[in-house]
Amino acid sequence: MNTASHEAATRVHNFCAGPCTLPVSILEEVRDEFLDFDGIGMSLLEDSHRAPAYDAVHTAAMADFRTLAGVPDDYAVLFLQGGATLQFAQIPMNLLADGETASHLNTGAWGKKALSDGRRVTDLHEAWTGVGEGFARMPSVDEFDIAEGSRYLHVTTNETIGGIRLPAYPDVDLPMVGDMSSDFLSRPIDWSRFDLAYGGVQKNLAPAGMAVVVVRRDLLGRSGRDLPSALDYAVQDANDSLANTPPMFPIWVMGKVLKWMIAAGGLGEFERRAAERAALLYGAIDSSDGWYLSPVDEASRSHMNIVFRLPDEDLEERFVAEAADADMVNLKGHRSVGGIRASVYNAMALESVEALVSFMADFRAAND
């Protein structure tokens, strides 16, 4: 029996919001290399992070991230532990001097948390909040109330729970800091608009356990704060993200994903694929005469996390259960909002979305 083919054939359609589905070919590569990496007689995970085998993996992942994302030379790329959540506090620690402030868009659960955690470090200004509208849309630029003297505007480019995204990066007169966790490397990034962009890798790139931070090098050390070395971007950059033992497994897998994305055509191609998947699923929702309902503003609809409701919660529970019986899993909406959420990240095959759309039609026919 061909083990690889058997495993690929029996995998479910995984719509998890994070950790994400990963390309089967890469999971197979990791499996095949796991016990003896590149002939060293042990797993890469058992080797030193200073050894030649891991050094080659680390260096290649850094270079391929720069290539795929088009990162300019005057920006540092950092592989950091703690996920994106740690960055909510680490960013103002590194970018804001005592007495300085920044403005934040509160566009959903993650925008709210970034603001709340950042305020544990310094005073931050809420430039807009969608709480009164149930976080159902992104704001337009003319709604921003940016505080005078703000060093940057913090934006969450895609809200994983609410299912909304910034359809375009805002055109503002100050640099931005972007939490891109749930649409990281799903579309091209205009780096001239950002002082810093960051994201947890578990949505589009790798297993959980790290964040990638891309930051202008001329900002390193500008806060003047006496930071612990692990939290200091300047220390991490000076040591190529090897100031301490890095999260070796996520970096190893991410390196493979980056090469896979480059070979597939780069960020423009993945933006096209995301739009195709989203159009198919939103088309099924919009053509259901309101039986399936998108609760978010059409202009703000996410291409990564597609949320929708059914006529009642009992039907939603049955939808999730029957979908799982049909090998479509992790469709239950976040506990804070309910409903259904289909996360369709970079590695999600169009065939999986087609299977979900077909199931939606059958489920409605049986229950309408």
Q: Which residues are catalytic?
A: 110, 179, 203
Name the 3-class secondary structure at 161.
coil
- How many C-beta atoms lie closer than 10 Å to residue 192's C-beta? 7
Looking up tokens 């950059």, which residue turns up?
Answer: 237
CA pair distance 26, 36, nearest whole angstrom: 16
**Contacts of 337 by beta carbon, 8 Å cutoff, 6+ apart:** 161, 162, 307
Strands 211-216 and 194-200, by their bridges, are: antiparallel
**Contacts of 70 by beta carbon, 8 Å cutoff, 6+ apart:** 188, 189, 191, 267
CA pair distance 296, 142, nearest whole angstrom: 20
**Contacts of 21 by beta carbon, 8 Å cutoff, 6+ apart:** 14, 15, 345, 347, 348
CB 106 within 8 A of CB 131: yes
C-alpha to C-alpha distances, 193 to 108, 173, 174, 202, 336, nearest whole angstrom? 22, 9, 8, 24, 32
CB 278 within 8 A of CB 303: yes
CB 339 within 8 A of CB 312: no
Closest by Cα among 333, 328, 347, 335 to 294: 333
Sort 276 into a burial class: Cβ within 10 Å, 0-12 / 13-18 / 19+. middle
**Contacts of 245 by beta carbon, 8 Å cutoff, 6+ apart:** 49
Bond into 19 cis (ω within 30): yes
Side chain identity at residue 202, one-letter code: Q
CB 53 within 8 A of CB 185: no
